[in-house]
Amino acid sequence: MNIDDLISCPICKNIPVNEREDFINNLKIKTKHFKKGDWIAQQGDLVNALYILLKGSVKTEMVSESGTVLKIETIHAPNPLAPAFLFSEINQFPVDIIALEDCEVILISKDSITKQLACNETFLKEFMAFTSNRAYFLSERLKFLSTKTIKGKIARYVLARSKNMIFTLDMTLTAMAEYFGVTRPSLSRSLSEMIDEDIISLKGKNGKILNLQKLKRLIMQ
């Protein structure tokens, strides 16, 4: 394990330099390595340690009741994986975590994390801030996934990335379809219809909102 990678993690990065050695020495750490395509955790597995991705990247997926695989996000190192669920009454991974490349993951015991939260104010603040931000992200992702129509999903996606009625698609159509949980042809068709209806215009990845009210109404359908 590279100590610099751990200190670069969002929940550790603001620990004062003179405290870092003691902080790390008081952690009970186990290191695991995964190959591309390996399952790091499966939906329903117990979260009995704090998982931190030190190297590589992973994707998180959730299987709906209908059996549809929904992509939640891609996470790049260095970042914690599901930290909020470490202290949840139902301490289970809510998603599948799959390595997109060779990965290094450390597992820090719950007991040592609890002790650091109790005695290290900087770590406590960063841990709480990170988990709060993750809760907000997941609530927004849930709103997105609960949007019924493909056009509604496109509308949410566009609005979240727009400024002064201008937006940029930050994914390929294939990646967007996976993110939306729909097929690529269905996504392309809905996008073309929104362009034909003069709701948005699109040239390459750059677009413009032409009718804001119609775009917002799509979310409610």
The angle formed by the CA atoms of residues 151, 135 and 117, to the nearest 5 degrees, is 165
Fold of 150-220: Arc Repressor Mutant, subunit A (1.10.10)
Fold of 3-140: Jelly Rolls (2.60.120)
The predicted pLDDT at position 64 comes to 67
The predicted pLDDT at position 145 comes to 75
- Tens of pLDDT, residue by residue over 100-145, are 999 999 999 999 999 999 999 999 999 999 999 988 888 877 787 7
**Bond prior to 185 in cis (omega within 30° of 0):** no
Q: Which helix (H) or strand (E) holds 204?
A: none
The reply to whether 3-140 and 150-220 are identical in fold is no
> What residues of the chain score a pLDDT lower than 50?
none
What are the boundaries of each domain within the chain? 3-140, 150-220
Q: Which helix (H) or strand (E) holds 152?
A: helix 150-160
